[in-house]
Every structure is written in C-alpha cells, then in structure tokens.
Structure 1
Amino acid sequence: MGKGGKSHGEEEHCDNMAAWLLGINTLKIQPFNLPALGPHDARVRMKAVGICGSDVHYLKTLRCAHFVVEEPMVIGHECAGIIEEVGSEVKHLIPGDRVALEPGIGCFQCSLCKEGRYNLCPEMKFFATPPVHGSLANQVVHPADLCFKLPDNMSLEEGAMCEPLSVGVHACRRANIGPETNVLVMGAGPIGLVTMMAARAFGAPRIVIVDVDYYRLSVAKDLGADEIVKVTTNMQDIAEEVEQIHKAMGAGVDVTFDCAGFNKTMSTALSATCSGGKVCLVGMGHNEMTVPLTPSAAREVDVIGVFRYKNTWPLCIEFIRSGKIDVKPLITHRFGFTQKEVEEAFETSARGGQAIKVMFNL
C-alpha cells in the first residue's frame, strides 16, 4: 500500500493522462497529477466514461448555466472503473473491485448536507464542474464512500450509466411517481429517456413522450413509451399539441417532466398537466423563462425543481442488476482514449442526430 511514501505515489501516477479542456473547442490529453490518497479515499482506474450534455456545453462555450471555466479543467463525470488502491480506513472495497462513482462531494457540514439534501450543498465539489477536475482520465482519487461496488452481472459501461439514470430516479422521487401516476415527458434526449425508464421502474402505468425529432421519438417508443407525440418549436402550436397529448394519454397527465427546459416545453407542461398535478423541471435549456404560471397556480399545479440527485446509486444499481431498467440500448457510440478519438467522440455527441450516449472505453 504505497509504503514508499510520497515519492512512491508520485512515481506511480506521473503517467496518468487526462482529457483537459483548454479553451473553446480545445481538448487535449495531457498528464494529470493525482492528489495523495487519503485514509478514506480510493484510487480508481477509469474504464468507462460517458459524455454528458454539460460536458459539450463546457467544450463549446466554456460555461454551463452559471458555472464558468476559467482555467484548464479535466472533463467528464459519468464514470466507472476498477479499484487500484484504497486508503487505510476503507473497509468495504479492495483492489480489483469494479465500482461506479458518484461525482459530487458535499461538505457534510452545512444544514442542507445535514438534512440529507447534499445535492444542494453550496460547497459541492463535482467532477468537471469548474474549478473541480473531472474523471476522463486513466486514474482518479475519490472518496471511497462515493464508489459503489457493481454486481457481477453489471458491466462497467452500465456502471457509468448510473450517473444519468440518477437524474431520472431523483426526479421520480421528487414527483412521487407510483402505479397511479400517468407521466408526460417533454424531450426524448438522454435525460428524457432515462427519466421515462425510471418512471416505468417506479410503476408509472402510462407514459407519453414528446419531442421535435422523429428519430428520438422512435427510440423512445422502442424503449417502452406508450405513445409518442411529435411537436414543433412554435409557441402558437401549444393548444393544439396539448390536445394531441391528452388524446395520446387517454387520461389526465398527473406528472410532467420537462427534460428540455425551454419556454415552449415548460408552457406546454403547465397546460397539459391536470389540476392538482405536478410539473417537474429537469432540463435547463434556458437560464430564465417566461411561462403562464398564474393559470397553472389557479389549478394548483405544483412546480418542482430538480438538481442532480442524492442517494441514488444503490437504487440505480438495483434497477439495472434486476433488469427493471436496461440502459444498454442508450449507448450508441464508443470511442477509445486517444487524442483523435476524444475529439471525434465530442464532435459526435455535439452533433446529436442518432447519438444518444457516447461512451469512452479506457
């Protein structure tokens, strides 16, 4: 266990390489020095890392919502790998264990952390959210209690998919999805699809999904949506589209998940949701929105915010292990970890089209 002290550690990790975001549309594989292994940490060899929409935002604009990249940063946060070394106090993991990593570290001192709502911690350190480095690297050091052991029947790629799936699981918990909740999902991108799958796993009897892109809707149908509705980006079409949605649902919409986060999707969600229902805002397409809140409030439609997730990895692993959720069809493209492939992978993800989840195999 690194008895040679500091110099041994330095020697061992100087060959550690990572994908650094250096500027707009500029990613470079460069050395990444790891911090010393603390008593409660694990050093993990990364094996599967997915690309998230936020990674693409950072690459294209150096910002995502109010987070701004001001200095070079290692990218990536959807990840799984193999334990290489554990700190002296770590009892539940040993080298060789396959793990999925939860990327956010709360301070566990503030009132939000103490209430268990650590996803809202103002001091949160989250992989690849500036100024914190991410996990698209050969190795990372991470708190061992945020490394979740994978069962034998689960691949490392499926382990990396626990991160996007966590968003859907947390949203379903926030909205109390169950066997009596008819669900509408706005947006059939990766987060819309995992939210749909999570809602089904939580027992939602009927799910309708809406998007502007027919290919994505066909994927949603293949993955288990009961009905799909193709819409436009035109605000004038909302009334007509709400009618189509109600027809497709065949019943009231109890909960709507807006997984896009635009004026149009949120306005549609508020109109389509039945009186006394809930609208859950998951996507963050617009920083600010103008939406018809007053008529919705008069019908007691609750608007629920969703930010990342908390305590979701054990349930995600169970859903995948048991076969209740199959995330494998979401992985449409795979790349290795070379300079050329890193650039190609991000271009593929940014283009969208038929790419749903782009995955690195390191």
Structure 2
Amino acid sequence: MNNSKAILKTPGTMKIIPADIPVPKDDEVLINIEYVGICGSDVHGFESGPFIPPKDPNQEIGLGHECAGTVVAVGRGVKKFKIGDKVNIEPGVPCGKCRYCLEGKYNICPDVDFMATQPNYRGALTHYLCHPESFTYKLPENMDTMEGALVEPAAVGIHAAMLADVKPGKKIVILGAGCIGLMTLQACRCMGATDIVVVDVLAKRLEMALKLGARHVIDGAAADVASRCQELLGDAGADIVFESAGAQATVKLAPYLVMRGGKIMIVGTVPGDTPINFLKINREVSIQTVFRYANRFPVTIEAISSGRFDVKSMVTNIYDYEDVQRAFEESVNNKKDIIKGVIKVAG
C-alpha cells in the first residue's frame, strides 16, 4: 500500500505529495478514503488560506473534511468496527472534558481538533486516514461512500432545522441555495415543513431547490424579496428565516422577512460587522447562530438511508484525486454551475 496527500502549497495551488501510511492508535481505525466533498470552507482556504491561519508559517495545510471510505485496520481497543466496514467520520474531535463537551454541546468546544483547521490542519484528501472510533460511523448497506461523505454537510442542515424546532405548518424562508441551504431545505422537509420559500440569485440552484421540495423560489436579483415573501407567505411573514448564504446582504434582509415572535437562524459564516435593524425585530424575534452540529450524525445517516434525504442528486461535479487542482479552480471560477463537487480518491 502507498499513500499520498493533497496539501495547499500556497493559496491557489494544491500539490499531491508522498505520505506515510498512519498507524492507528488503540482507539482508532485506519480508513481507505474513497470520497471527499468540497466544502465552501475548503474553497475559501484554497483561495485565501484557512479562516484561522496557523501560528507557524511553515505549517502544512490540508483541505477536506467531508469524507468516507472503508476500514482497512483497527486499533487493538476498537470494538465497533472491523476490516471491510464502510464508514464515514465526524471530522471534529473535541476535548471531552470542558463544560461544553460535558453538556453535550461539543461542537462549541474551544479545544476541538477539526480537520483542515487548527490545531493540526490535517485534511481528508489522502488515501489513508486514522480517526477515533468514537467519531466514526458505520454506513448502512444501502448507502455508498459518496453518500457517506455528504452526511457531514447534511448534518449541518439537520442541526439547523432541529435547533429551530421546525414542525409541520411552519412558514419558512431559506436565504441562499448553495449546498448548505439545500441541505437545510431537505432537513425542514424531513421534519414536516412544506411551506418553504428559497431565495438565491443563481438559476441552477433555484431549479434544484424546486426539485428538492421548495414550494416557491425567488430570484433575489430580479425581485423585491420582502414584498414577494409577503405575497407568498402572508403579511405576517415567516416563522423561521434561515440565512445560509453567509453574506451581509442576506443577514440584513432577514429581519424584514420574519414574523413577530419568529426566529432567524444564522447558518452561514458571515464575515465582518453586520448592522441589524433591531426595530424590525423588536417583537420577541430570536436570532441564533448555528455552528456545525452536535449529536446529529446518527439521525442524518438514518434520513439518507431511508430515502427521505437526497444528497446524491446535489452532486454536479465528480473529480479524480489526481485532478484536485482543477477541482478547486473550477469550484472558485464556476460557482454558477457547481452545486456540490466531490473528489474521488479511491474505490
């Protein structure tokens, strides 16, 4: 067996280099990685470097954290897995000791070791990867490893919908129909909501939103979004507004769409200082940020396995591992056509 890994040599340049095959610790499994999803954070890292730059300028930077593959070795203390199991991983390993971990909110652990960022910046774009048994999940027989890799972004949508307490009958607006917005749409559908409006400026994304269950879509570049949402949902507005574009413009728009006593869920990563018109939400509207997920992988895997959550149809581009440079260049330069790209490492 030979191993290699794709690293970010400099912003805009990926390079595949030789790597040792890691040896699993007692509580780890060794996985032959088959698919890696390209996340928006990976694209940002490719363009500009990591969101949180390493303190050491010589730190090796890996990209990729949405991954799945097959177990090829197990540590001597591993009990849940055997060689040949199809698995995916939860890419953040928390400390397990702090207040947040002990309260079950390990996604906000200040010492989490999350792939492709601090402290180790190890990426999933490699043939062989070790990961703790406790954050590894066996895939059902009817799920393949491409679907397994996409559990991670789907779990973001599930987490957002569950935090928002989505229920049948709720009126929902989703701002942004990129991967996470569409995952949030599907999560809301899984939880029984049907009156869902999706807003974006790209036609291909709006077409996909309709395919995945949105009742209405709005081209944000061509319409007055607030007026159109009132026409579709009523003058009161939406029970829940999900901001999933990660843009200041959509954050500013959200208060004009939500009803009294409603919720604004900030799912996207919004840069900089963003003014909010608090007079528009001064009727017990709540604003909550959504950070990754906690305890959501099992329910997300079940939703995909049952057929209620379709991640595969969102994949528009599949790249070979050797074409990793092209994969990221196209992800940057062809955003209007790419909804979700994945890299086939092995299999």
TM-score range for the pair, normalised by the shorter chain length: over 0.9
Unaligned runs of 5+ in 2: none
SS in 2 for 1:108: coil
1:310 and 1:32 map into 2 onto residues whose CA distance is: 31
In the alignment, is residue 88 of structure 1 matched against residue 50 of structure 2?
A: no
In the alignment, is residue 182 of structure 1 matched against residue 171 of structure 2?
A: yes
In the alignment, is residue 206 of structure 1 matched against residue 195 of structure 2?
A: yes
1:245 and 1:94 map into 2 onto residues whose CA distance is: 51
SS in 1 for 2:321: coil
Please, which of 337, 343, 346 is the counterpart of residue 360 of structure 1? Answer: 343
**How far did residue 34 of structure 1 move?**
5.0
Partner AA of 2:330 in structure 1: T
* Matches for 1:212-361 after TM superposition, within 5 Å: 212-232=201-221, 240-250=224-234, 252-296=237-281, 298-338=282-322, 341-351=323-333, 352-361=335-344
**How far did residue 182 of structure 1 move?**
1.5
Q: Report the equivalent of 1:75.
A: 63
**How far did residue 35 of structure 1 move?**
4.7
2:203 and 2:127 map into 1 onto residues whose CA distance is: 37
**How far did residue 290 of structure 1 move?**
1.3
In the alignment, is residue 139 of structure 1 matched against residue 139 of structure 2?
A: no
**How far did residue 168 of structure 1 move?**
0.4
| TM-score after normalising by structure 1 | 0.90
Kindly provide the CA deviation profile for residues 34-81 of structure 1, in whole angstroms up to 9, marking residues without a partner as x: 5542111000000010100100111111132xx114422121100000
SS in 2 for 1:291: coil
**How far did residue 33 of structure 1 move?**
3.2
Confirm or deny: 8 A CA contact 2:71 2:83 kept in the other structure: yes
Q: Percent identity?
A: 37
**How far did residue 285 of structure 1 move?**
3.4
2:66 and 2:21 map into 1 onto residues whose CA distance is: 19
Q: Report the equivalent of 1:104.
A: 92
SS in 2 for 1:221: helix
In the alignment, is residue 152 of structure 1 matched against residue 141 of structure 2?
A: yes
Confirm or deny: 8 A CA contact 1:255 1:280 kept in the other structure: yes
Q: Report the equivalent of 1:31.
A: 18
Misfit runs of 4+, over 4 Å? none
Q: Report the equivalent of 1:40.
A: 27
Confirm or deny: 8 A CA contact 1:227 1:249 kept in the other structure: no
SS in 2 for 1:21: strand
**How far did residue 287 of structure 1 move?**
2.9
| TM-score after normalising by structure 2 | 0.94
**How far did residue 248 of structure 1 move?**
2.2
Deviates more, 1:90-99 or 1:255-264: 255-264
Partner AA of 1:53 in structure 2: G
Partner AA of 2:137 in structure 1: F
1:102 and 1:63 map into 2 onto residues whose CA distance is: 19
Confirm or deny: 8 A CA contact 1:106 1:121 kept in the other structure: yes
2:162 and 2:188 map into 1 onto residues whose CA distance is: 9
Confirm or deny: 8 A CA contact 1:255 1:277 kept in the other structure: yes
1:63 and 1:360 map into 2 onto residues whose CA distance is: 20
Partner AA of 1:59 in structure 2: F
Please, which of 114, 118, 124 is the counterpart of residue 126 of structure 1? Answer: 114
2:46 and 2:95 map into 1 onto residues whose CA distance is: 28
2:89 and 2:268 map into 1 onto residues whose CA distance is: 22
1:197 and 1:91 map into 2 onto residues whose CA distance is: 34
Confirm or deny: 8 A CA contact 2:88 2:137 kept in the other structure: yes
How many matched pairs? 339
**How far did residue 100 of structure 1 move?**
1.2
Q: Report the equivalent of 1:9.
A: none
